[in-house]
């Protein structure tokens, strides 16, 4: 099991006394996303802010030392932030993108940090494109294929374009709740494909002239 999932799995075992086969997801993330553009109109990166649920946050901080009990500075959380982004790389940061119909390749995460407020951890990081591209159509999806982690775009404007040409139009499609029958059908199909989480993908689309 990958490092990041090892941490998540341990959290699930410690914090959830339920049948693992029925307990999906185990970790919940509230997210907001920025799509970063250069002055020439090329897309250069994606910046995420992921707020973890309070149970996972408590588990992740277990054993971590701080100068003031119950308070963690960004500096004290820096090693944990590094572990997270390095481990997330193995899972493609749960971020999948296409520009003009072609897969986008991201480089290593940068400008990453963890903050602790109101008893929850928020991880922020930027995924730079290995090759910036001027895209008439950009599609970004965020989801965990195994649906171990549930990602949800939250807030009034959870996605923003930063520096994009004014003519570019943004649309956001959040996953819809499934009925029991729909969930059963999809779970059977996903069990065969190993990609159950795609049914809960957060979809971001940008169209530029």
Residue 21 is predicted with a pLDDT of 40
pLDDT band at 48 (very low <50, low <70, confident <90, very high): very high
- Residue-wise pLDDT tens digits, 81-107: 999 999 999 899 999 999 999 999 999
78-92, 117-131, 139-153, range with greatest mean pLDDT:
117-131
Are 88 and 122 in contact by the 8 Å Cβ rule? The answer is no
DSSP state of 85: H
Residue 158 is predicted with a pLDDT of 97
pLDDT band at 20 (very low <50, low <70, confident <90, very high): very low
Predicted confidence (pLDDT) at residue 50 exceeds the cutoff of 70: yes
Q: In angstroms, rounded to a whole number, what is the distance separating the alpha carbons of residues 154 and 122? A: 13
pLDDT band at 172 (very low <50, low <70, confident <90, very high): very high
Predicted confidence (pLDDT) at residue 204 exceeds the cutoff of 60: yes
- For 88, 111, 157, 203, the CA distances from 8, given in Å and listed in that order, are 11, 23, 28, 24
Q: In angstroms, rounded to a whole number, what is the distance separating the alpha carbons of residues 20 and 17? A: 9
> Which burial class, exposed, middle or buried, applies to 115 when counting CB atoms under 10 A from its CB (0-12, 13-18, 19+)?
middle
Q: What percent of the chain has pLDDT over 70?
A: 80
Residue 199 is predicted with a pLDDT of 83
Where do the domains of the chain lie, and which CATH numbers do they carry?
3-207 (2.70.170)
pLDDT band at 19 (very low <50, low <70, confident <90, very high): very low
Between residues 19 and 98, the one the model is more confident about: 98
Residue 148 is predicted with a pLDDT of 86
Backbone angles phi, psi at 109, to 5 degrees: -65, 145
* CB-side neighbour CA atoms (13 Å) of 3: 11
pLDDT band at 153 (very low <50, low <70, confident <90, very high): very high
Between residues 181 and 198, the one the model is more confident about: 198
pLDDT band at 23 (very low <50, low <70, confident <90, very high): very low
Record the pTM: 0.84
Cis before 25 (ω within 30)? yes
> Helix, strand or coil for residue 196?
helix
Instruction: Decide the pairing of beta strands 149-153 and 27-37.
Output: parallel
Predicted confidence (pLDDT) at residue 151 exceeds the cutoff of 90: yes
DSSP state of 155: S
């Amino acid at each position: 099991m990958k490092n990041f999932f090892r941490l998540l799995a341990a959290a699930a075992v410690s914090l959830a006394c339920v049948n693992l086969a029925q307990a999906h997801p185990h970790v919940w993330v509230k997210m907001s996303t920025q799509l970063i553009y250069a002055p020439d109109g090329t897309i250069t990166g994606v910046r995420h802010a992921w707020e973890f649920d309070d149970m996972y946050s408590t588990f992740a901080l277990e054993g971590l030392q701080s100068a003031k009990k119950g308070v963690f500075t960004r500096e004290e959380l820096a090693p944990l932030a590094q572990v997270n982004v390095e481990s997330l790389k193995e899972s493609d940061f749960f971020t999948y993108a296409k520009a003009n119909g072609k897969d986008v390749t991201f480089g290593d995460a940068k400008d990453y940090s963890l903050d602790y407020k109101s008893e929850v951890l928020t991880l922020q990081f930027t995924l730079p494109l290995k090759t910036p591209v001027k895209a008439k159509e950009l599609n970004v999806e965020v989801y965990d294929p195994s649906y171990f982690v549930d990602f949800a775009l939250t807030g009034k404007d959870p996605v923003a374009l930063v520096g994009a040409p004014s003519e570019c139009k943004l649309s956001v499609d959040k996953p819809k709740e499934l009925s029991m029958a729909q969930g059963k059908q999809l779970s059977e199909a996903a069990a065969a494909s190993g990609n159950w989480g795609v049914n809960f993908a957060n979809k971001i689309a940008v169209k530029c002239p």
